[in-house]
Amino acid sequence: MAIEPRRYTQDEIDGLIGCAKTITEPPKREMRLDRGHLRNDMRLRSGDSALEFRAFMRRSEDLPENFSIGLAFLPKDGTGEILLLRCNGPHGGFNDSFDPSDPHWDFHVHRASAEMMEAGSGRRSPQP
């Protein structure tokens, strides 16, 4: 039976992004190459240790200006991580789940909104 994902208000989303965090698992010294992208992650915990997060870093091997650095919330209810914030280099195209109508020809930041989450964007399935 599938778990119904919790709905978050904009204030809750902003609080998850803005809360103080400490690194619990630092990134590796070297990024690893996977399908043409250099990758690295780290784990974080809120200042009160109640919440867990994952920060990720991705960079194209061929086009280093094409990068992504992001923050995901890892809820403990088993519904999967929630993408809160993503900073990107230029990559063009119209293939973004936050706003499919907006091309990305320059550096840009995506920030989760309650409206987009309600529409189904920003949540990733739990890993088996």
Q: What is the pLDDT of residue 128?
A: 39
Q: Which residues pair with 73 in a beta bridge?
A: 53, 82
DSSP H or E run through 41: strand 37-46
pLDDT of 79 above 90 = no
Mean pLDDT across the chain, nearest whole number? 82
Tell me the pLDDT tens digit for each residue of 88-115: 887 555 455 555 555 555 677 888 888 8
Residues 6+ apart with CB under 8 A from 104: 88, 90, 91, 92, 93, 96
Tell me the pLDDT tens digit for each residue of 40-55: 999 999 999 999 999 9
Confidence of residue 123 (pLDDT cuts 50, 70, 90): low
Asked if residue 22 lies in contact with residue 50, where contact means CB atoms within 8 angstroms, the answer is no
State percent of the chain over pLDDT 70: 78
Q: What is the pLDDT of residue 46?
A: 97
Q: Domain residues of the chain, as ranges?
A: 10-25+33-118
State percent of the chain over pLDDT 90: 42
Q: What is the pLDDT of residue 48?
A: 94
